Structure 1
Amino acid sequence: MSRPVRVLMWIVGLAIAAYLIVLALLWAQQGRLIYPAPTALTPPTGGFEQVTYRTSDGLDLAAGYRAGEPGKPTILYFHGNGADWVSSVVATDRLVPSGYGVLAAEYRGYRGNPGTPHEDGLYRDGRAALAFLATRGIAAGDVVIIGNSIGSGVAVQMASEQVPQALVLISPFASLRQLVGEKMRWVPSGLLLRDRYENAEKIAGIDAPLLLLHGDADTLIPDTHSRQLGRLRDDAKLVIFEGKGHDLAWHDEAEEAVLSFLDTLNTRGTER
């Protein structure tokens, strides 16, 4: 074997080894990458009380709750991966004055809660949030589930298990596996990812009115994901906001779109 061939083989072997090391690091650290829980804790605001509910695997999670006016639905809000439940207070500050109750759900490993976040764990957390509302006399049919960003994965799963009054997804992905595959084409996401949040596989089977909101300037999760989800439900309402990015949930326009959607549902219910 000639020296140039040996050098080429050595370079190729080194590149393969480096690639495998990077994949191993991504495999080991994916939890931290997917769930970057904020370290700074802002104080609760907006008249929310801190409540605690227990998950099926024995974790006591602290979250925020504000009761609604009699006869008004309650919003069950699942926030994104880089926020905590107090951010949900800001994202619902135009819904509360309209009389809606809000349970700003929280996840394991976030805002001082015990446990480590992962897909199955967040589903357990979502079920515990619904169970908490049931203890307050609020059935699933009186709940509007809203999921922002990674919270869309929890929201979709909960809506597939218990039929809510409505489902609202803000800046959602079709699936986390698909999103990672688009962002990191050199990564075998189908093999690497432990958490996948396959929203596209579940959305058609959900028997609740669906609103999809997305900004066309979202560089983290492109609006093509909402468009893909919308095509899977003929009755879905899709609103694309020009110039808005991944922080859409905190813009007044997003809340106004939710209010308009819910008002339409309530009007239909009254007409029946």
Structure 2
Amino acid sequence: MVRRFRLLAIALLALYVCALAVLFVNQRSLLYPASDRRTSVAEAGLTGFQDLVFQTPDGERLVAWWKPPQPGKALILYFHGNGGSLWNQRFRARALSASGRGLLMISYRGYSGSTGSPTEAGLHTDARTAYEWVKQSHEASRLVAYGESLGTGVAVRLASEQPLAGLILDAPYTSTADVASLTYWYVPVSWLMLDQFRSLDIIQQVRAPILVLHGTDDRTIPFAFGERLYAAAPEPKRFIRIEGGSHSRNLEQGGMAAVEDFLAAVEAHLPERSSGNAVTPQQTP
């Protein structure tokens, strides 16, 4: 009897180890369900935007949508979520730039026609590349990073490294390991997860004003995670509780007014005339 139980235990342990191996090998395909659909601004129906392609220092080509800001207006660097794409952000692109604000919305490596495969280090490189491109002609005092879901980790890292006028976090997390642990509770996620986007560890390094939006009914990233990150963030900061808000609709379900106020505060410190004209983008092949 003891021998049979021992064999059963060994078999169950072997199955568990195999399950861990499968999850480990496939973890990036689970974290980054990238769509390869490439969408032009014409197809998206975006007026005043340009298709842009630029190259990262490690040789990847990133697709992006670009609209330069009008004089005295802020410029938003937008980083979408893990299941996002340029196409499904077309309405936000229009809304965020409607009042003359600039917008650079990048497609991470492996997404929406950009080359390469996504990794945490790669996404941070993509964000830095976008920042350096826009800094060629626009001062940091008008640049606001907007991170949505997974993109909040990208935005927090950028804001911890570079000067910005503001940081907007839409449904943020403490780390992707904390989020993954909710689903894979039986896995030692903190040991095995390669890309953990540990925003909680670096949020104190941000020197820009912070706005956090989080829905109380978020089933993907719990509301409590946004509260924890906000509590650790330095001042000045503001937290907007979206009652009944779901994971990907905070802006549309009541957050837009707070975003408008936040951007207006940035613009209140800008001169009437901007110092930069739009950088001539590379032609999309």
Q: Give the alignment's TM-score, normalised by structure 2.
A: 0.88
Partner of 1:221: 221
Task: Please report how far the alpha carbon of residue 104 of structure 1 lies from its aligned counterpart in structure 2 after TM superposition.
Answer: 0.7
- Local SS of the residue matching 2:94: coil
Q: Note the alpha carbon deviations across 1:203-223, whole angstroms, 9 max, x for none.
A: 111100000001010111001
1:93 matched to 2:90? The reply is no
Q: Note the alpha carbon deviations across 1:173-220, whole angstroms, 9 max, x for none.
A: 111112222332211111111101010011111100000001010111
CA distance in 1, matches of 2:97, 2:178: 35
CA distance in 2, matches of 1:233, 1:112: 34
**Contact persistence 1:51–1:62 (CA under 8 A):** yes
Partner of 1:111: 112
- Local SS of the residue matching 2:95: coil
Q: Note the alpha carbon deviations across 1:24-67, whole angstroms, 9 max, x for none.
A: 01110011000001255553332221101111101121111111
Task: Please report how far the alpha carbon of residue 170 of structure 1 lies from its aligned counterpart in structure 2 after TM superposition.
Answer: 0.3
**Contact persistence 2:73–2:270 (CA under 8 A):** no
Partner of 2:276: none
CA distance in 1, matches of 2:155, 2:263: 17
Partner of 1:209: 209
- Local SS of the residue matching 2:44: coil
Task: Please report how far the alpha carbon of residue 10 of structure 1 lies from its aligned counterpart in structure 2 after TM superposition.
Answer: 1.6
Cα distance 1:252–1:102, how it changes in 2: closer, same or farther (>3 A)? farther
CA distance in 2, matches of 1:253, 1:69: 26
123-132 or 93-102: which moved more?
Answer: 93-102
CA RMSD of aligned residues (A): 1.8
CA distance in 2, matches of 1:266, 1:233: 23
Partner of 1:6: 3
Q: Note the alpha carbon deviations across 1:111-162, whole angstroms, 9 max, x for none.
A: 1211000000001100111122123x11333211000000011101111111
1:62-81 superposed matches below 5 A: 62-81=63-82
**Contact persistence 1:170–1:248 (CA under 8 A):** no
**Contact persistence 1:147–1:169 (CA under 8 A):** yes
1:33 matched to 2:34? The reply is no
Partner of 2:134: 133
Letter matched to residue 59 of structure 1 = E
**Contact persistence 1:34–1:81 (CA under 8 A):** yes
Partner of 2:162: 162
CA distance in 2, matches of 1:58, 1:206: 28
Task: Please report how far the alpha carbon of residue 252 of structure 1 lies from its aligned counterpart in structure 2 after TM superposition.
Answer: 5.2
CA distance in 2, matches of 1:57, 1:268: 36
CA distance in 2, matches of 1:51, 1:75: 15
| Identity over aligned pairs, percent | 33
255-264 or 150-159: which moved more?
Answer: 255-264
225-234 or 35-44: which moved more?
Answer: 35-44
CA distance in 2, matches of 1:55, 1:34: 22
Structure with larger RCO (C-alpha < 8 A, sep 6+): 2
Aligned residues: 266
**Contact persistence 2:67–2:103 (CA under 8 A):** yes
Task: Please report how far the alpha carbon of residue 225 of structure 1 lies from its aligned counterpart in structure 2 after TM superposition.
Answer: 1.1
Letter matched to residue 120 of structure 1 = A
- Local SS of the residue matching 2:200: helix
For structure 2, which runs of at least 5 residues remain unmatched after alignment?
272-285
**Contact persistence 1:108–1:121 (CA under 8 A):** yes
For structure 1, which runs of at least 5 residues remain unmatched after alignment?
none
